Amino acid sequence: MISWSFAPQVKTEGFAFNTTAAAVAGLMLTLASGAGAGETFRLLSWNIHHGEGMDGKLDLVRIAELIKACEPDAVALQEVDRNCKRTGGVDMPAELARLTGMTAHFQKAMDFGGGGYGICLLTKSKALETKGYALPNSAKPVEPRTAQTVKVEVPGGTLTIANTHLDVTSGETRLAQAQFLIKTLGEVPDTVVLAGDFNAVRGDTTLKAIESAGWAVPEKQGDPNTIPSGKPNREIDFAVFRPARALKVVKYTVLNEPVASDHRPILVEVERATP
């Protein structure tokens, strides 16, 4: 693959992790079988539930092992702790960067437990520009939400990667947040790939607004559902891009990881569309 430069006591290196060698090997074979020809960009998106799995264990190593097996160019993570008491004061962005060999870009949504809680983009290549955005809240404020962008250099130009986690309590608030992102990211001159936990299902007002604004909302290959991770029955994690015809989807799947978080991760591989 030619890359476009277009995740109490937390288990880190030195501790056992629950993802077996066989599972990682199987995942790598699955990913390799779907690789496309030419220059591609691989983006993994995953709500990591502050590193806590469905087995109640806080384990960053198994999250990092899955990330490395996917060989992504960028990773959009949601529900990330930084120096929070509930996760042992660990700087999760820094630790995940160390474990994966990538660069972390953290965007705090709010203060929490003596530290910060928010989202994080990991990138393989150097960032040319990073920005963070507070998303609109409701009249009766709920948990703050945020978004972030990282611009990277790619063959023939630049690409902007965006990461977000939309509101879970209100469709009206979620739609307002999506409309903010449509307007804000619509002013970016690059092709933009936006990924994250949208807390919205395909076909509702949030996804319809994104698609109506000229974004591609591609369909996943295989079972599209991402939550709950044990037996997923809803699709709320997405990767979308604009302009809608700028990219061709080579592979877009939900990964079979039922334990490490309450969400399953998604992986999208794209290439520039032929003019």
Mean local confidence (pLDDT), 122-131: 95
**Helices 205-212 + 171-186 axis angle, to 10:** 20
Query: Is the distance from CB of 103 to CB of 74 less than 8 angstroms?
Result: no
**How crowded is residue 157: how many other Cβ atoms within 10 Å of its Cβ?**
11
pLDDT at 10: 56
pTM, entire model: 0.87
CATH of the domain at 10: 3.60.10.10
Provide the 10 A C-beta neighbour count for residue 107: 24
Residue pLDDT, tens place only, 32-60: 434 333 488 999 999 999 999 999 999 99
Which of 198, 179, 183, 181 lies closest to 237 in space, CA to CA?
198
Residue 12 predicted with pLDDT over 60: no
- Its domain, for residue 146, covers 2-272
Question: Cβ-count burial of 101 within 10 angstroms (0-12 exposed, 13-18 middle, 19+ buried)?
Answer: exposed
pLDDT at residue 154, as a whole number? 77
Total of domains in the chain: 1
Q: What percent of the chain has pLDDT over 70?
A: 85
Residue 48, both tokens: 């990591």
Q: Which two tokens stand for residue 238?
A: 């997405």
The CA–CA distances, whole Å, from 150 to 72, 147, 180, 234 equal: 15, 11, 17, 28
HSE at residue 189, side-chain half, CA atoms within 13 A, is 3
Task: Convert the pLDDT of each residue in 51-98 to its tens digit.
Answer: 999 999 999 999 999 999 999 999 999 999 999 999 999 999 999 999
